[in-house]
């Protein structure tokens, strides 16, 4: 049973040496009376929040990983054996699993059976999973969008950003995205339907880039990166604008996050800046699933995945999130069905 083991708590950016691929053994049978489920992992999701679980400090909304044990995260898996009444052999399920080929799991909280396979099943960790839901809850519940709003999305081609942009377009907004390569900018403009996009790595002056794209200012900023981008956006917000702070991926490994100079704009322009966790909106999950499935089936939205093959490539795939290597939602295929 191949596994990706978390080695020890980290400071700064995650590195290859913080994790390792190990081969362990596992009994392919669930102990009677354990209530556990044995699963074969098919797809594993790489998500930036996992970086937070690598630090020892636990003041966060989710506990740290345990050194010496496999990483954990969202996945899609097939039940092999079960002592749990709700999950039976052969069921296809999505939920939290471990980074290994086969997992014996005791905690099934939040697991959801996949009943229809008319969409790619890996989408259940992306478009129809946590990142897609974050886009939906963040855009509709936190951004207070109105038709005609000027919307800016950072990390716009990623798992969350790509859907935010498409929802904003369907809502009648003008949407611009930023991303870290020309390839991503091209996808934003030509595949994901953004009105405009720019490669922030090539802009000498982010304020000037935003003024070029939004001569009349920004009503909604869907914040995924933080740092210099947030500072430049603050200069370009319109009166009564909204900033939904979804993530600050540029700050995940930084201990000193001082350096946002333009916060005064929140006061002068009466801007609302609100952080959120998608987990506070889970009551909306059924409505999200229904709505996004409909949009997808009607061809109104598309979703870009970056699929890495095999657990052997899992560490690289995860680290790639922090250098922008992923183009779209980063997924690892552990096994074919
Ligand atoms: P992505 O798929 O967008 O992958 C991360 C991307 O972030 C990279 O591809 C890269 O894109 C960009 N990035 C990485 N490092 C930096 C940096 N130093 N500066 C600027 N950009 C950087 O990730 P997700 O869509 O899954 O997540 C986006 C954000 O949303 C994250 O901050 C995440 O933590 C947050 N999040 C929050 C949730 C919530 O409930 N609040 C739930 C889910 C996610 P590029 O090449 O464009 O720079």
Q: Where residue 186 sits, what CATH number does that domain have?
A: 3.40.50.720
Per-residue confidence (pLDDT) for residue 116, from 0 to 100: 84
Q: Measured in angstroms, how far is the CA atom of residue 275 from the centroid of ligand 1?
A: 15
Q: Measured in angstroms, how far is the CA atom of residue 215 from the centroid of ligand 1?
A: 26
Residue 297 lies in a domain: no
Residue by residue, pLDDT tens for the chain (337 residues) are 999 999 999 988 999 999 999 999 999 999 999 999 999 999 999 999 999 999 987 667 789 999 999 999 999 999 999 999 999 999 999 999 999 999 999 999 999 999 988 899 999 999 999 999 999 999 999 999 999 999 999 999 999 999 999 999 999 999 999 999 999 999 999 999 999 999 999 999 999 999 999 999 999 999 999 999 999 999 999 999 999 999 999 887 676 656 789 999 999 999 999 999 999 999 999 999 999 999 999 999 999 999 999 999 999 999 999 999 999 999 999 999 7
Per-residue confidence (pLDDT) for residue 257, from 0 to 100: 58
Residue 206 lies in a domain: yes
Same domain, 311 and 227: no
Same domain, 143 and 261: yes
Tokens of 302: 């598309």
Q: Rounded distance, CA 162 to CA 305, Å?
A: 10
3-class secondary structure, 299: coil
Residue 294 lies in a domain: no
Q: In total, how many domains does the chain have?
A: 2
Angle between helices 285-297 and 130-137 (to 10 degrees): 100
Q: Rounded distance, CA 204 to CA 193, Å?
A: 25
Q: Which atom of ligand 1 is nearest to the CA of 328?
A: 2
Number of continuous H segments (helices) and E segments (strands) in the chain:
8, 15
Q: What is the CATH number of the domain that holds 64?
A: 3.90.180.10
Residue 220 lies in a domain: yes
Per-residue confidence (pLDDT) for residue 258, from 0 to 100: 63
Residue 293 lies in a domain: no
Same domain, 223 and 103: no
State if residue 184 touches ligand 1 by the CB under 6 angstroms criterion: yes
Per-residue confidence (pLDDT) for residue 118, from 0 to 100: 85
Residue where the block lists tokens 């897609």: 132
Residue 61 lies in a domain: yes
> Which residue out of 160, 202, 251, 327 has the highest number of ligand 1 atoms within 8 Å of its CB and is therefore the one to mutate?
160
Residue 21: domain span: 2-126+304-333
Same domain, 120 and 139: no
- Surface-to-core class of residue 33, CB atoms within 10 Å of its CB (0-12 exposed, 13-18 middle, 19+ buried): exposed
Residue 289 lies in a domain: no
Same domain, 120 and 183: no
Per-residue confidence (pLDDT) for residue 67, from 0 to 100: 97
The most distant pair of C-alpha atoms in the chain lies apart, rounded to whole Å, by 66
State if residue 304 touches ligand 1 by the CB under 6 angstroms criterion: no
C-alpha distance from residue 61 to each of 45, 139, 264, 275, 277 (Å):
19, 21, 29, 13, 9
Same domain, 249 and 118: no
């Amino acid at each position: 049973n191949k596994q990706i083991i978390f080695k020890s708590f980290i400071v700064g950016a995650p590195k290859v040496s913080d994790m390792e691929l190990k081969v362990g053994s596992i009994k392919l049978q669930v102990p009677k009376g354990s209530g556990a489920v044995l699963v074969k992992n098919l797809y594993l999701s790489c998500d930036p929040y996992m970086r937070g679980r690598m630090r020892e400090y636990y003041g966060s909304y989710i506990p740290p990983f345990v050194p010496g044990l496999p990483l954990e995260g969202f996945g899609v898996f097939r039940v092999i054996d079960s002592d749990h009444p709700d999950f039976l052999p052969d069921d296809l399920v999505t939920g939290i699993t471990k980074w290994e080929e086969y997992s014996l799991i005791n905690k099934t909280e939040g697991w959801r059976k996949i009943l229809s396979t008319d969409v790619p099943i890996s989408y259940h960790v992306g478009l129809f999973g946590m990142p897609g839901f974050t886009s939906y809850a963040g855009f509709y519940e936190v951004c207070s969008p109105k038709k005609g709003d000027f919307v800016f999305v950072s990390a716009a081609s990623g798992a969350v950003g790509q859907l935010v942009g498409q929802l904003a377009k369907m809502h009648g907004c003008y949407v611009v995205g930023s991303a870290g390569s020309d390839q991503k900018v091209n996808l934003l403009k030509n595949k994901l339907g953004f009105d405009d996009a720019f490669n922030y790595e090539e802009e000498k002056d982010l304020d000037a880039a935003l003024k070029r794209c939004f001569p009349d200012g920004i009503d909604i900023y869907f914040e995924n990166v933080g740092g210099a981008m947030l500072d430049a956006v603050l200069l370009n917000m319109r009166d009564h604008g909204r900033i939904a702070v979804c993530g600050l991926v540029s700050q995940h490994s930084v201990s000193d996050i001082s350096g946002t100079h333009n916060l005064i704009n929140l006061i002068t322009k009466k801007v609302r800046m609100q952080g959120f966790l998608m987990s506070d909106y889970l009551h909306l999950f059924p409505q999200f699933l229904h709505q996004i499935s409909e949009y997808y089936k009607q061809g109104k939205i598309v979703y870009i995945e970056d699929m890495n093959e095999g657990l052997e490539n899992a560490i690289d795939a995860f680290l790639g999130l922090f250098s922008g290597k992923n183009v779209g939602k980063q997924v690892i295929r552990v096994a074919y069905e």
